[in-house]
Amino acid sequence: MTERNAYQKERLRMVETQLRARGLRDDRVLEAMARVPRHLFIPIMERPYAYEDRALPIGEGQTISQPFMVAIMTELLDLGPADKVLEIGTGSGYQAAVLSLLSREVHTVERVPELYERTTTVLRDAGYENVVTYLSDGTLGLPEEAPFDAILITAAAPDIPVPILEQLDDGGRLVAPVGSRYGQTLIRIHRKGDLYDKSYSTPCVFVPLIGRHGFSPDSA
């Protein structure tokens, strides 16, 4: 059995008991979650817990989100196979891998050099060829690749950074955890011309989004 398939039963159990049983119904998202080997994106010492219902440390003060949160954020994006996606906060690369199975291409930005280098290697070695990684201040977005059909912010923001919002295409969707350093709510924005319809989803707690349009390192 290859390392990629070593935890196949655990992945399927995760999908049924943590996702489908809690109300997630998008079959494409559930299939993607069943396919992506979450254990490859976390440190070896954490791999026995890879498919448990919790976030796990990945080093550099960062975490990989619990599977339920990855799935619900992905479902809220309502991705299509032709979509171009921007992810702010690459982290482990797991979320980017899930997004890549549901879209045409994923551009993902990480600010921590060690995570950027490690994750770029993991994604490449795992065969996610439609994911492009960048090392920069994610709060600035990625203007050279804009506009995007969908944008996902995977760190807590005090508000949606204006440069990122401006990079959302007409008809596009943006999902982000917005709130204080210690507690947020998932927000979904659907752009319709010059209007940005906002809706609220589930409470959550993410690591802070650091950068020019996010939290400062001192406050975080």
Helix (H) or strand (E) holding 84: strand 84-88
Cis peptide before 48 (omega within 30 of 0): no
The one catalytic residue among 65, 92, 100, 103:
65
- Write out the two tokens for 106: 């994923």
Q: Is 155 helix (H, G, I), strand (E, B) or coil?
A: coil
- Write out the two tokens for 41: 């994106």
Burial class (CB in 10 A: 0-12, 13-18, 19+), 150: buried
Return the residue matching tokens 């890879």.
50
65 catalytically annotated: yes
Burial class (CB in 10 A: 0-12, 13-18, 19+), 146: middle
Q: What positions carry a catalytic annotation?
A: 65
